[in-house]
Structure 1
């Protein structure tokens, strides 16, 4: 059962924050959902946004500047949390592992496997829950996006669910987590040493193995301090070109990794998605 944590009117629509008990994670989970004014007259398409390291649902809800564009285009906007939380949930020192850093995988290694089942949560449990509780959402018209770790999540979720999403975008995504320090640290803890299991959560590896999705739009700032070591956008450019996967990757001069960057291009991403969600 969903509990309404808060509700506010915005741009003629409703900004909700909701909480429920998750079967996937075994913990309470909180997420935000914006319903545009068009939802009062008929069904509306859904955009899911997956957040990055250290974030909760609140970062994009407070700083993402998506509501005006969603209201203009008639888009619902869903923002889940990035990890399980609560008493007894395992954590480690460091901001890039544990709480706020679930990497959108189902952990197979103890002690993480007890709660860190974010893949099942974002691909199965949460979509089923909101479809049942909000029939105004048109689940046949979906798009997905995300930032950094969430960009990794958006790309891999879309590549492994062909046909579910009509458009996929990402802000500064980790495109090849199997090959960069952030991903190597998280995958080794959550998934163990079997790199075949890592490949199922690596967008570049998925493209190389034959996975395909709808059009992809990626923005990344040339001033991003993680550009060369963690994000490596050239890897997905090469993989997409070799695979014939439609991809537009834009290097935005001087922008960094923050929500100043994300909010600048959010409206463009939502307009681009709208064209594909008609």
Structure 2
């Protein structure tokens, strides 16, 4: 692991590092914010997953999360959204919604994607182990959240790994990728044509199949131009209602899909996770 940048921020440290990711077969960048409390000892950790076209830096620069992380004494890890490098395949048509920047947090099974696009295993195993070994965090006290494609990824990670995360939250998540154009394109390429294999990466399908309850918060902007076709929050509401899965799903009037939306409510989400982590250890 090599630290490539470090900045003081709200008396904590904002770092960006590079490491060789065995799971992905390439070098990866990742960012981590360590609050001032980390100077005295290990702190709980939140994992943030970003959306389509993003890198590890979008959240760091635009969300304004460091202020709230410092207040609550939590670290925030922000990984990249896909493998990177000259040998990593990209959409041959150069589209922005697939390939580089659009890993969809799955383990690809189809060539040529399967040799690198294994973001699920990277996030489930390799990256947390690296963070625990290199930084002053309490690895077992963690939660996860994200935006859009990253909201999908965060929810899938939490629903498929009961007991690992104290809570999960999302901004404008893709809740049913098996039933929207972005998801259908990505999953058909990464996983192949058998739609049954897609269900393991679909939050609505996981909840309908009996996923273990954990605290879930979702914020969705009512002015989000992706809401009707790509995000389809109503499908999540229906799946939760049908399954008795408790979730706080909030529609925010006037807000769109941008980081202005995220910055407006990021403090609420960090507080939500800090409280859930505290309750889980009580």
The normalised TM-score by structure 2 is 0.97
Find the aligned partners of 2:194 and 2:128 in 1 and give their Cα distance.
29
Looking at structure 2, the residues matched to 213 and 61 of structure 1 have their Cα atoms a distance apart, in angstroms, of 30
Indicate the residue corresponding to 1:218 in structure 2: 218
Query: Deviation per CA, 1:3-25, whole angstroms, max 9, x where unpaired?
Result: 00101110010000010001011
After TM superposition, list the pairs within 5 Å mapping 1:107-126 onto structure 2: 107-126=108-127
Q: Distance in 1 between matches of 2:177 and 2:213?
A: 19
Partner of 2:141: 141
1:188: Cα distance to partner? Answer: 0.3
CA distance 1:26–1:36, change in 2 (3 Å): same
Residue matched to 1:8: 7
SS at match of 1:124: helix
Find the counterpart in structure 1 of residue 33 from structure 2. Answer: 34
Q: CA deviation at 1:213?
A: 3.7
Alpha-carbon contact 1:163-1:213 (below 8 Å) kept: no
Q: Are positions 1:128 and 2:132 aligned together?
A: no
Distance across 1 between alignment mates of 2:96 and 2:212:
32
Q: Counterpart of 1:227?
A: 227
Structure 1: how far apart are the matches of 2:206 and 2:276? Answer: 23
Q: Take 1:119 and 1:43, find their aligned partners in 2: how far apart are those partners?
A: 25
Q: Distance in 1 between matches of 2:24 and 2:140?
A: 26
Q: 2:95 aligned with 1:61, yes or no? A: no
Structure 1 segments, 4+ long, off by >6 Å, are none
> C-alpha deviations, 1:144-177, integer Å up to 9, x for none?
0000000000000000000011110000000000
CA RMSD in angstroms comes to 0.7
How many angstroms apart in 1 are the aligned matches of 2:122 and 2:220? 27
Q: Please give the alpha-carbon distance, in whole angstroms, between the structure 2 residues aligned to 1:169 and 1:159.
A: 11
Q: CA deviation at 1:97?
A: 0.4
Distance 2:109 2:200 in 1: 13
Unaligned stretches of 5+ residues in structure 2 = none
* 1:110-138 CA-partner distances (Å, limit 9, x unpaired): 1111111111111110001111112x211
Q: Tell me if structure 2 keeps the 8 A contact 1:204–1:235.
A: yes
TM-score normalised by L of structure 1: 0.98
Q: Is 1:151 equivalent to 2:151 in the alignment? A: yes
Equivalent residues of 1:182, 1:230 under 8 A apart: yes
1:215, CA displacement in angstroms? 0.7
8 Å CA contact 1:215, 1:245 repeated in 2: no
Output the CA distance in 1 between the equivalents of 2:246 and 2:163: 15
Q: Does 1:268 align with 2:273?
A: no
Note the C-alpha offset of 1:139.
Answer: 1.5
Structure 1 unmatched runs, 5+: none
Alignment partner of 1:200: what SS?
helix
